[in-house]
Amino acid sequence: MYLLKIRCAKYYSVILDYTPDISNTEQMSLVIRCVDISETSPKIEEFFLTFLVIKDKTGEGLFGTLQDVLADLGLSIDDIRGQGYDNGSNMKGKHKGVQKRLLEINPRAVYTPCGCHSLNLALSDIACSSDIAVLFFGVVQRIYCLFSSSTNNCDIFKEIVNGITVKPFSQTRWESRINSIKAIRFQAPKIREALFYLADNSDNPKTRSEAESLAMSDTHGIGNFEFVFGMIIWYELLFVVNKVSKILQSEDMDIDIAIAQVKGLVSFFKDYRETGFQKSKREAERIATEMEIDPMFSKKAKRPTKRKQFYGEEPDKVGEVVVLTPEEDFRINYFIKIVDQGLVSLETRFDQLQGYEKTFGFLFDFKKLKLAEDDKLMVSCANLEVFLKHGNYSDIDGDDLFLELKLLRGGLPEGITKAAGILDIKKFFKAEAHKISIKKFFKAEAHKISIKKFFKAEAHKISIKKFFKAEAHKISIKKFFKAEAHKISIKKFFKAEAHKISIKKFFKAEAHKISIKKFFKAEAHKISIKKFFKAEAHKIVSTVDINPRAVYTPCGCHSLNLALSDIACSSDIAVLFFGVVQRIYCLFSSSTNNCDIFKEIVNGITVKPFSQTRWESRINSIKAIRFQAPKIREALFYLADNSDNPKTRSEAESLAMSDTHGIGNFEFVFGMIIWYELLFVVNKVSKILQSEDMDIDIAIAQVKGLVSFFKDYRETGFQKSKREAERIATEMEIDPMFSKKAKRPTKRKQFYGEEPDKVGEVVVLTPEEDFRINYFIKIVDQGLVSLETRFDQLQGYEKTFGFLFDFKKLKLAEDDKLMVSCANLEVFLKHGNYSDIDGDDLFLELKLLRGGLPEGITKAAGILEFLKRRESCYPNTWTAYRIMMTIPVSVASAERSFSNLKLIKSYLRSSMSQERLNGLSMLSIERDMAEKLDCTNLMNEFAGRNARRIIFQQYCIGFHIFKYFCLTLFI
């Protein structure tokens, strides 16, 4: 529809901008601006058409992309009359930019740099023109960083200031810095009070030093008069520029209004240069007095300056030193400097608009057009013809335009003076000619019935209200629910049916006056509302009670995570170990400087945070330390010796050297080896269980293998891990010895028949033995217990389906045992008098299958594939294997769908309907199936459907249909 509007408008402008998306792919937005003349009232519109992936960001590459997309959309490049880009060199470049390349093909596609970007660049020029301005914004940013660095600092700010929160700077949108300045401009006294509080009471030395500097410093804080004065100046400048920027961002912004806004901004700067200093000074003195700051400019040592000798001036006066007072120095070298820079930047960056005023200016204001002399008007029309000419063709004829404007000057009604009103004159004359009111004009005349009018009125000019209520033979769907045969309004319809029962009574009771609570809780058999929605009269809530064959299997991956959680929580040493690993990550990720030091010294796998739920993924956190421990310790030592942050130095030294809370002790290194091996094995099993085609027999085999690993690791893992830990400790220059810690003596329990005098003997363990028993053995035993407990359900399935898992074992099974297994499976799959299989038939089929199955097929998946081709021969076997393969092992597929959910329903699309969410999710998750669909047939089928053709021909419905409607509508 947008393309039709653009083609109807004929002339259009292209607006381009690009930015990287979340995947670091450059996306260019294409927006078309045109005058929409397809509607009754012409309107300036900006239509977004598409995002374009940018691979070549040069002017040539961007222009080639633009040409291709315009050709694909069927838009002629010769109809472009305007270009709007940012101020990047690849866009606005005079020699190789996009605008230059387009002008070479179509000279009438005039380029206009983005007004908002130009304002941002002008503000950037102003701020960079003065060192004092740079320092001012640095102080404002430091205030934000201080109060946002911790929740404690933030709470102090809220408690003392209790107003607008401090905000960070935008590096690109300069005019938005008004929000950062505003928080300080109107709360400076309270903010200084909060800084004093932090300087006196904070526990962090860095915070105390920073707060005191910001509150008291004469050069780098808010405790000096120059900062307060600059705050007033910058707030007023940013406030005005921000207002103009917001106006320029509107979609229907005209070039005449934009020029007027820029002129007004330049006028403000000129006026502010003359009068702004004294006004700002008075306001700054008031705030400084409130902040208990001396409202005086500080005296700073300045290098003497000499005036330049002018022609005819006496040479002896040139060498005189120009001595400025502190106030005069601030006015000249700061205030005047930034205001003058603003004027220069605005005039330079908006000179293109001034050029357009010379070309189109005579069309901007109709009052001036009325007063224009004919000779000047004719020259302006001729100049516009030349401007819009390409080759031998021009968009307009200057002479004809001159005559039309002369005619228009006499016939234009009073009150229309601006370009937008003149553009709408066609509509005005349509309504004025027959003196039809604007209301009637939009409704339509007698001979021109638009589709809009059709829904407003038909041949007899029935109002839209009557139209939807219905005529004699056409009952709309709205009317259907508004009234039945006797034209009862929707209010009456819901209030009562045939006997005019009020809606309250209706929902309170039906024929037998059942209360609404009872009505929704149950129908004839008084089923509760929970049961009502889950089942009908004879269906009970519990799934197992409804269908005992729907066997429950806890997710294998979740069970592994819970088993690891049990292991880690079983030992205090393990808890401390993971705490140290997390502290290492927090230290190196706390600042870019710390991160750069890590990259420079370690230059390998980056440290990673823990997942609070996916325990097996902690292998990635341990791996970064397991294979880089010596280099990580070297990086910690470097931070401890060279960091400027006392907190960082203390934390780094503690992690590098501490015998209990760092990586500088042998127990940590030993635990690192143990946990890496345990997590590595569990992570591998978890990944296998997450596959969609995972079979229950393979899952049981994997869990058995994991249990076997834990048992073997319990016997042999300690010595193997010890040797590896000693090697790494030597490399890290750590003594490979267990530290001696004071322990509370323990006594053994007296066993039956043991001599009592030996029971009281104190059991003294060596540090190594203590570590082995109270840490290594403890966590491995806990792992064995958790695995056997959390996977007992799978063991139960093995007893039921185990004889079907491996065909080799099935071949060797005795007939008696096989018959018993088949009978047990029949009972397991039985509900009431019906079972999915017949045990006796299954036994006979398996005996037959043992002799007829080809060599090489041993696993369940292969047998199922073989049975599919011979389903009629082995019906019970086919059913048994399908049920066995149907039982899920994990819910990984459901969790993977959440990734698509986050991508599809983001905060920008939070109001998406459930139906649309489900449709998009289905297309994304089941994309393999969606790719096989024939989109052409689907679109043709959808286009052939027309919901408006549906006409309800019945005047009333039965009570049961009405009841269903109520339930679906209100429940």
Would you state the pLDDT for residue 160? Answer: 92
User: Does residue 97 register a pLDDT over 80?
Assistant: yes
Given a contact cutoff of 8 angstroms between Cβ atoms, the answer to whether 922 and 731 are in contact is: no
- Look over the chain and give the mean of its residue pLDDT values, rounded to a whole number: 75
Lowest mean pLDDT of 243-247, 480-484, 723-727, name the range.
Answer: 480-484
Given a contact cutoff of 8 angstroms between Cβ atoms, the answer to whether 45 and 36 are in contact is: yes
Mean pLDDT of 490-512: 41
Would you state the pLDDT for residue 376? Answer: 85
The amino acid at residue 928 is: D
Domains defined for the chain, CATH in brackets: 1-113 (3.30.420), 119-291 (no CATH), 365-431 (no CATH), 556-732 (no CATH), 806-886 (no CATH), 891-969 (no CATH)
Widest distance between CA atoms in the chain: 130
User: Does residue 951 register a pLDDT over 60?
Assistant: no
Q: For residues 102 and 361, what is the distance between their CA atoms, to the nearest angstrom?
A: 25
Length of the chain equals: 971
DSSP string of 846-884, one letter each residue: HHHHHHHSPTT--SHHHHHHHHHTTTTT-HHHHHHHHHH
Would you state the pLDDT for residue 362? Answer: 77
Mean pLDDT of 759-783: 82
User: Does residue 492 register a pLDDT over 60?
Assistant: no
Would you state the pLDDT for residue 476? Answer: 41
Percent of the chain with pLDDT over 90: 6
Q: Choose between 713 and 799: higher pLDDT.
A: 713
**pLDDT tens digits for 516-528?**
344 434 443 444 4
Q: Which of 319-323, 756-760, 842-846 has the highest mean pLDDT?
A: 842-846
Q: How many helices (H) and strands (E) does the chain have?
A: 50, 13
Q: For residues 8 and 37, what is the distance between their CA atoms, to the nearest angstrom?
A: 7
DSSP H or E stretch at residue 159: helix 151-160
Q: For residues 191 and 222, what is the distance between their CA atoms, to the nearest angstrom?
A: 9
Would you state the pLDDT for residue 468? Answer: 37
Which stretches of 255-373 are DSSP H helices?
255-290, 326-330, 337-349, 351-364, 366-371
DSSP H or E stretch at residue 15: strand 12-20
**pLDDT tens digits for 418-456?**
666 676 655 544 444 444 343 443 344 334 434 334 334
Q: Residues 490-525, buried b or exposed e (16+ Cβ, 10 A)?
A: eebbbbeeeeebeeeebbbeeeeebeeeebbbbeee
Q: Is 0.95 surpassed by the pTM of this model?
A: no
Lowest mean pLDDT of 65-74, 453-462, 930-939, name the range.
Answer: 453-462
**pLDDT tens digits for 543-557?**
456 777 777 777 777
Contacts of 323 (CB under 8 A, 6+ apart): 304
Q: Which of 182-186, 507-511, 554-558, 615-619 has the highest mean pLDDT?
A: 182-186
- The candidate with the shortest Cα–Cα distance to 242, out of 182, 283, 188, is 182
Beta-bridge mates of residue 747: 762
Mean pLDDT of 532-553: 55
DSSP H or E stretch at residue 763: strand 762-763
The amino acid at residue 60 is: E
Q: In what order do the strands lie in the sheet with 12-20?
A: 43-54, 26-36, 12-20, 80-85, 110-113
DSSP string of 391-445, one letter each residue: TTEESS-HHHHHHHHHHHHHHPPTT--BHHHHHTHHHHHHHHHTT--HHHHHH--
Given a contact cutoff of 8 angstroms between Cβ atoms, the answer to whether 59 and 96 are in contact is: yes
**pLDDT tens digits for 630-650?**
999 999 888 888 877 656 776
Mean pLDDT of 587-600: 88
Beta-bridge mates of residue 418: 365
Given a contact cutoff of 8 angstroms between Cβ atoms, the answer to whether 16 and 91 are in contact is: yes
What's the gap between Cα 336 and its chain centre?
Answer: 44
User: What is the sign of the dihedral through the CA atoms of 757, 762, 768 and 773?
Assistant: positive
Would you state the pLDDT for residue 20? Answer: 84
User: Does residue 774 register a pLDDT over 70?
Assistant: yes
What is the pLDDT confidence band of residue 781, given thresholds at 50, 70 and 90? Answer: very high
| Phi, psi angles (nearest 5°) of residue 342 | -65, -45
Q: How far apart are the first and last CA of the chain?
A: 38
**pLDDT tens digits for 370-390?**
778 888 888 888 888 888 888
Q: For residues 562 and 558, what is the distance between their CA atoms, to the nearest angstrom?
A: 6
User: Does residue 487 register a pLDDT over 60?
Assistant: no
Would you state the pLDDT for residue 351? Answer: 75
Q: For residues 772 and 766, what is the distance between their CA atoms, to the nearest angstrom?
A: 10
Given a contact cutoff of 8 angstroms between Cβ atoms, the answer to whether 96 and 104 are in contact is: no
CA angle 891, 892, 896 (to 5 degrees): 125
DSSP string of 675-736, one letter each residue: HHHHHHHHHHHHHHHTSTT--HHHHHHHHHHHHHHHHHHHHHHHHHHHHHHHHHHHHTT---
User: Does residue 541 register a pLDDT over 60?
Assistant: no
